[in-house]
A and B are shown apart, each in its own frame.
Chain A
Amino acid sequence: MDSASAPFDSALIPKGVKRCQFKWFLLWIAILHGPLTIGVIATLMCWGLALNVTYLNNNYPFGLWIAADLGIIALGAGAFFTGFLRYIVKIDELKHIVNFAVIVGVVCYAAAQGILGVDIGQPLRGWFIFWHANVHSMLTEVAFCITCYFMVLCVEYLPLILENRQIYKFGFPRGFAHHLHEAMPTIAAIGVFLSFFHQGSLGGVPGVLYGRPFAFREGFLVWPWTFFLFILSAIACGPCFTILITRITEGFARKRLVKRNVIDILAKISGRLLALYLVLKTIDTVYWIATAGKVGAPLSSFYANQPYGYWVLITELGIFGVIPCILLLIKATRQNENILILACFLNCAGIFMNRWIMTVQALAVPVMPFDKFVSYHPNWVEYASTLLFVWAGAIVISLSYRYLPIFSQEKELNPI
C-alpha cells in the first residue's frame, strides 16, 4: 500500500486491512444522510405537532412503530445469543463474528428505544416508566431489561471502540479494554439473563391482553405462553439477521469478512431452534383456537376482515417459517450461499410478520360485536421515522467497519 493512495484517514483505520478512499466513504455517509434527514423531520413533526401527523388512531394505538420495535429487538437477539454461544456454551469459532453481532445489537436496541421515544405521546415524561414503575406491567419489565441490556451492549461495544488504532495507543484505554475483555463472559451472562426477560416480556405485552382474545394466551406462572415463544423465536432468528447483515456488509466491502464455517454454525443453530419454535407455535395455535372459541371468538372471527385473512396464518408459519426452517436444516441448501441468504431473509421476515400480527392485527380484530373493522396502514411519517434508525444504523456500522477491528478473519481472508 503506497502512501499516496492511502486514504486521508488511514491513521484511524485498523492496520493490515484495505478501505476505500475517504472521499468515497464521505460520499456514502452523505448519501445516508438524505433519508436520515427525512426521518429526522418526521420525528420532529411527531414531537412538535403531536401524533396526529401519523395514521395511528384510537382503534390502532399501536402501529408500525410498536411492531417495528418488537421486530427489531428480536433481530437484535443475535447479539446476546451469539455472546451466549461464544462465552457460555464456548463455541470458540464464534469469536470471529461476535464483535459484529454486538454492533448489530447496539444498533437494534438503540433503534428500539429511539422509536419508542417517538411513539409515546409525552416523550418528556418517558422516564415515568422507571419513576412510577408498575411491577405488574409487562412493559415495565421490558423497559427495565431493555435499558439495562442496552448498557450491557454498550459495555460490550466499548472495548471495540477502545481498540481503535489511535485510542489503543494510550495506556488507560488499552488496559480498560483488556479488562473488559476478561470480564466478557460475565457481562455476556448478565446480557443473556436480561435478554431472556425482555424478549419474553415483549411476548407478554400482547399475551396478557385478556380483553383481546386474538392476542391473549394462557401460560405459566405470571407469563403467558407468548413469553416463551417470543424468546424462542428471537433466538431462532437473531443469528440469521447477523448472517444477513454480515453478508450485506461483505457485499459493500466487496470481500469476505467471516469464514463460511462460522456462518454455518449460526445457520445450523438457527434452523434447529426455528424447528423447535414451529412445533411449539403449532401447539400454541391449536390451544389458542380452543380457548378463544370458549370466550366467544371463533377462529373465523379473527380472519374475517381483509387484509387479515387466513393467508396471514399460512404465510407466517408456512412461507416464513417452515420453508426457511427446512432450508437451514438441510446441509446442502444451508451451504449454498444464495439459498442461505434466502432462508435468512424469510426467517427475518417471519419475525417481523409475527410481531406485526401480535400487535397490529391483535388490535385490528374487532372485539365488541358491534365494532366496525377499520384498516390501518402507516403513513410516511411513521415509515420515515422508523427507517431513520436503519440509516443511522448503517452509519454506525459503516463507521465501525472502517475504523474498528471487528472482523478478526478479514486480514487472513484478504491479504494485502
Chain B
Amino acid sequence: MKEAHHGEGDEKTYKFGMVIDLDKCTGCGACMVACMAENNISFRKDETDKLRSNFWMRVYKISNGLPFPDTEVSYIPRPCMHCEGYDHHHATPCVSVCPATVTDYNHETGIVSQIYTRCFGCRYCMAACPYHVRVFNWWDPRWPKGMEKYLNPDVSVRMRGVVEKCSFCFHRYQRAKNKAYAEGRRELREDEYQTACTQACPAGAITFGDLNDPHHKVYKLKKDPNAFRLLEKLGTNPKVYYVSTTDWVRKASDAYTGKQGEGVTPG
C-alpha cells in the first residue's frame, strides 16, 4: 500500500476495535475465508494439522460439555485482539517482547502491526500471545499455477520462517485514509474503513469501528451488559469484545478450568 506522505502531529487518532455478537455468529466460517482471500493467506493440500495451519481469523467451537441431549455448542471467532496491554501502559504482550521491533502498537489507530520482511522468526511473540493469534510460516507459500492471479497487491505475500497475524486489514485503513485526504477530509467515516471479515459476515455478527467515538456502533455495543473480552483478568486489554446472552459462554471467557471435560471444552 502506498502511503500518502503528510505532516505529523495533525493526525486524527482512533482506537479501532470489534464487537462480535456470539448470539448471531453461526460458525459458518465466511470470515475466515474472506480474511484468507483478502490477505493473501496461503493454503496447502493438507490443512488438517490445525497446529500448523495459517489462520488470521480462527473460529473456535466450544461446548458446555454436558451429555446428550443437554449439549450446547457456541462459536467464537478470534481475530487478533490488538491488545492495548497491561494497565493501559500500552505494553502489548507481543509488542514488548519482539527483539527486532517487528511488531508495533500504532497509536494513531490502535492497530498492532507486523512487518513480515523484518521478522526473523524467533517466535517469542507467539509465546507472549495467550490467544494463539500469531502463526508461523512453517512452509514456503505456494500457489497452484494460475492462482497467483487473485492475489491482492495491497498486502505483501509472506515468506517462510516469519510470523504473521491479523492486521485489522490495515491496508484498508490506508486506502480509506488516502481517499479521505484526497477529498480534503481528515477524518474517516465509520463505513469507509471496515475489515474484510466484518464486511463478509453473512450474519452481521461482527461490528467494527472506533471504540472511542460515541457515534460509532461499537461504542455502544461494547457497553452491553453481556459484553466481555477474552482473558480480561490477564490485563492484555484487548480491543475485541464479545456479546453473548448465554451464561456458560460468557463464563468461558476467563479462567481456564483445568482438565478437558470440566466445564467448557473445545467442541
Cβ of A363 < 8 Å from any Cβ of B?
yes
The chain A residue with its CB closest to the CB of B116 is: A122
A51 and B130 contacting across the interface, CB-CB below 8 Å: no
CB < 8 Å: which of A50, A133, A300, A359 contacts B99?
Answer: A133
A212 to B97, CA, bound (A): 13
Cβ of B265 < 8 Å from any Cβ of A?
yes
A205 and B124 contacting across the interface, CB-CB below 8 Å: yes
B235 and A210 contacting across the interface, CB-CB below 8 Å: yes
B258 and A300 contacting across the interface, CB-CB below 8 Å: yes
A56 to B131, CA, bound (A): 18
Q: Contacts A211-B130, A294-B233 given: A120-B120 contact, CB under 8 Å?
A: yes
Interface 9-residue window, one of B9-17, B25-33, B136-144, B166-174 = B136-144
Q: Which of chain A's residues have a CB closer than 8 A to the CB of B121?
A: 51, 120-122, 125
Q: Contacts A121-B120, A122-B161 given: A61-B126 contact, CB under 8 Å?
A: yes
A57 and B51 contacting across the interface, CB-CB below 8 Å: yes
Q: Which of chain B's residues have a CB closer than 8 A to the CB of A62?
A: 123, 127
CB A211 to nearest CB in B, in angstroms, measures 4
B99 and A143 contacting across the interface, CB-CB below 8 Å: yes
A116 to B99, CA, bound (A): 14
Cβ of B188 < 8 Å from any Cβ of A?
no
Cβ of A180 < 8 Å from any Cβ of B?
no
B129 and A211 contacting across the interface, CB-CB below 8 Å: yes
Q: Which of chain B's residues have a CB closer than 8 A to the CB of A134?
A: 96, 98-101
CB A223 to nearest CB in B, in angstroms, measures 14
Cβ of B34 < 8 Å from any Cβ of A?
no
Chain B residues numbered 106-133 whose CB sits less than 8 Å from any CB in chain A: 118-124, 126-132
A58 and B135 contacting across the interface, CB-CB below 8 Å: yes
A369 and B127 contacting across the interface, CB-CB below 8 Å: no
Interface 0/1 of B233-261, CB less than 8 Å to A = 11110000000000000001111111110
Q: Contacts A57-B52, A121-B137, A296-B233 given: A371-B100 contact, CB under 8 Å?
A: no
Cβ of A13 < 8 Å from any Cβ of B?
no
A368 to B86, CA, bound (A): 17
A296 and B255 contacting across the interface, CB-CB below 8 Å: yes
Chain A residues numbered 105-140 whose CB sits less than 8 Å from any CB in chain B: 116, 119-123, 125-126, 128-129, 131-134, 136-140
A373 to B230, CA, bound (A): 18
A211 to B237, CA, bound (A): 11
Q: Contacts A50-B139, A59-B51, A370-B60 given: A139-B120 contact, CB under 8 Å?
A: no
A368 and B231 contacting across the interface, CB-CB below 8 Å: yes
A137 and B260 contacting across the interface, CB-CB below 8 Å: no
CB B195 to nearest CB in A, in angstroms, measures 22
Cβ of A169 < 8 Å from any Cβ of B?
no
A211 and B161 contacting across the interface, CB-CB below 8 Å: no
Cβ of A372 < 8 Å from any Cβ of B?
yes
CB B221 to nearest CB in A, in angstroms, measures 22
The chain A residue with its CB closest to the CB of B50 is: A58
Chain A residues numbered 209-266 whose CB sits less than 8 Å from any CB in chain B: 209-213
Interface 0/1 of A267-305, CB less than 8 Å to B = 000000000000000000000000000111110110011
A290 to B118, CA, bound (A): 39
Interface 0/1 of B18-30, CB less than 8 Å to A = 0000000000000
A129 and B99 contacting across the interface, CB-CB below 8 Å: yes
A298 to B265, CA, bound (A): 17
A210 and B236 contacting across the interface, CB-CB below 8 Å: yes
B161 and A208 contacting across the interface, CB-CB below 8 Å: no
Cβ of A366 < 8 Å from any Cβ of B?
yes
The chain A residue with its CB closest to the CB of B124 is: A139
Chain A residues numbered 166-203 whose CB sits less than 8 Å from any CB in chain B: none
Cβ of B201 < 8 Å from any Cβ of A?
no
Cβ of B205 < 8 Å from any Cβ of A?
no
B93 and A61 contacting across the interface, CB-CB below 8 Å: no
Q: Which of chain B's residues have a CB closer than 8 A to the CB of A322?
A: none
B256 and A371 contacting across the interface, CB-CB below 8 Å: yes
A56 to B136, CA, bound (A): 10
Which residue, A59, A128, A363, A369, has most C-beta atoms of chain B within 10 A? Answer: A369
B253 and A122 contacting across the interface, CB-CB below 8 Å: no
A369 to B248, CA, bound (A): 11
A270 to B11, CA, bound (A): 58
A139 and B127 contacting across the interface, CB-CB below 8 Å: no
Using A209-B127, A297-B256 as known contacts, list a sample of 18 further A-B pairs with CB atoms less than 8 Å apart, ordered by residue number in A: A51-B161, A58-B132, A58-B135, A61-B136, A119-B122, A121-B122, A125-B120, A128-B120, A129-B120, A132-B101, A137-B99, A139-B122, A210-B86, A301-B258, A368-B256, A370-B60, A370-B252, A374-B51
Interface residues, chain A, with chain B CB atoms under 8 Å away: 50-52, 56-62, 116, 119-123, 125-126, 128-129, 131-134, 136-140, 143, 205-206, 208-213, 294-298, 300-301, 304-305, 359, 362-363, 365-374
CB-based closest 8 A-B pairs: A121-B121, A121-B161, A61-B123, A296-B255, A211-B130, A57-B51, A61-B126, A139-B99
